[in-house]
Amino acid sequence: MQGIIGLSSMVVQQIEINQINLVLNQLFNDSKNDRDIVNELFVNRAETSITPKDFKDVYLSISKKQGEYLVELIRDNNLKNIVEFGTSFGISTLFLAQGVLNTGGHIVTTELIESKVKRAIVNFKKAGVNNLIQVKTGHAIETLKNYNAPIDLLVLDGWKNLYLPLFKMLEHNFSSKTIVYVDNADMLESQTFLKIIKATGKYKLLPKFGGKVALIVTK
């Protein structure tokens, strides 16, 4: 009897994963125009004048391989309490949701642009995982200001100048098993952030994806 119950819960989980993958495929397909929109933006404007609002129609998402890696990271380390900076339309968050299906966890994610939040929530509902995700709309420094709960995985994938203040603001929620996933770790501002974190002597940096990603773990 127990075997049948175990089997049926595995079948249910596979159906949930298939549903998420279906939505992810649609979103990756839709994000193909990102490059043209971004190129046009940089041709017409000085880099310093560009704000998150200029990217309101672009995904700027992590890759499929990075997403699959996040699923494994969550599953293999039994991570339950996930916080994400930079939801966009929800591609990375859907991978995080796939991960927490294995661990019984949940996700808090935050996004500045309201129209992006609305589309992300539609995507979470389509994928059937809206119940696993709390979306906070607004500036991450404000939305996460009073965050006071354990964090097993912090995903930093928003504007790089906020990585350091957010890390410091949330650090009191970390434990020895916390992992911080830093996207675009090879960008200049991220490099400055990572140097400061390394210099504290408390953390180890683990480069992934040829340095595009860095994991920060406790020594």
Ligand X SMILES: C[S@@+](CC[C@H](N)C(=O)[O-])C[C@H]1O[C@@H](n2cnc3c(N)ncnc32)[C@H](O)[C@@H]1O
Q: Which residues bind ligand X (CB under 6 A)?
A: 52, 55, 59-62, 86, 88, 91-92, 110-113, 116, 139-140, 157-159, 162
Query: Which CB atom, from 19 or from 137, has the smaller least distance to ligand X?
Result: 137
Work out how close the CB of 145 gets to ligand X at its nearest, in angstroms, rounded to a whole number.
12
CB-nearer residue toward ligand X: 166 or 216: 166
Task: Work out the burial of residue 197: count CB atoms within 10 Å of its CB; fewer than 13 is exposed, 13-18 middle, 19 or more buried.
Answer: buried
Question: Closest distance between ligand X and the C-beta of residue 201, in Å?
Answer: 29
CA angle 173, 113, 71 (to 5 degrees): 50
In angstroms, give the least distance from the CB of 143 to ligand X: 7
DSSP notation for 174-187 = EEEEEEEEEETTTS
Q: Which is nearer to ligand X, 55 or 124 (by Cβ)?
A: 55
Tokens 């890390």 belong to residue: 167
DSSP annotation of 88 reads: T
Nearer to ligand X, 182 or 197 (CB): 182
Q: Tokens representing 14? A: 């596979």
Nearest approach, Cβ of 103 to ligand X (angstroms)?
Answer: 20
Smallest separation (angstroms) from ligand X to the CB of 132:
16
Computed on alpha carbons and rounded to an integer, the radius of gyration of the chain in Å comes to 18
Q: Could you tell me how far CA 48 lies from the centroid of its own chain?
A: 25
Cβ proximity to ligand X, 189 vs 198, nearer residue: 189
